[in-house]
Amino acid sequence: MCSTLPLPVDLGICSITPTYSFTYSALTYNASGIPNLQHLTDIANSIGTAESYHFTYATGSLAPPFGYDAAWNGVTTSRLTSISTPGISSYQFTYDAANAGELTKLTFPWGGYLQWDYVSQAYAGPNGNRYLREVGTRYLSAQSNGSSAWMCRVLRSDLEPSLRQKGKRARRVIIDT
């Protein structure tokens, strides 16, 4: 199969040349000599279209979602903040105010958005309950001005999420897969 061979290659029956190139952030090391994670920064193509992507990250503190813990002092992380493409606005990523790294909103270039609210959920464990974070409510706004949003909430009593327009009565039940 041609696609498993080093590129470019010409076998007479097919010819393969790279169609996309991927650029990553520089490899750096922390004070302990451990390599930091590299991040995808750009995607470009060589097929003659204007398709390309630029990824922007912001570095900030990282904290547990359940409250203060001294073990987290000084811990930082990089979060994807935007993806830009030529000719349109950027995709914007927003995270929780507690710095737990929970993605709370994705805004699309045309103004619509997906939004998530998180809840702590108890799960039975060998030594009592263990709490984990999970998405409790999802919102979708397809309008460019974000004026109307649909809400999908997991109802723990029957485990069936409901879909309703924000501020209005439920109209139908969906299965969230």
Q: Give 48-84 pLDDT, tens digit per residue.
A: 888 899 999 999 999 998 888 888 888 888 999 999 9
Please say if the pLDDT value at position 177 is more than 70.
no
Higher-pLDDT residue of 8, 132 = 132
DSSP letter, residue 29: B
The percentage of the chain sitting over the pLDDT mark of 70, rounded to a whole number, equals 76
- Is pTM beyond 0.85? Reply is no
Cross-strand partners of 54: 42, 84
Place of tokens 């974000």: 146
Cα 88 to Cα 15, 52, 111: the distances in Å are 33, 11, 11
How is residue 157 written in tokens? 């009593």
pLDDT band at 13 (very low <50, low <70, confident <90, very high): low
Q: How many residues does the chain have?
A: 177
pLDDT band at 155 (very low <50, low <70, confident <90, very high): low
Would you say 87 and 52 are in contact if contact means Cβ atoms under 8 Å apart?
Answer: no
Exposure b/e, 119-139, CB count within 10 A at least 16 = b: eeeeeeeeeeeeeebebeebb
Is the omega angle on the peptide bond into residue 8 within 30 degrees of 0, that is, cis?
A: yes
Interval 155-176 mean pLDDT: 44
Q: How far is CA 24 from the centre of its chain?
A: 18
Sign of the dihedral defined by the CA atoms of residues 155, 158, 162, 166, in that order: negative
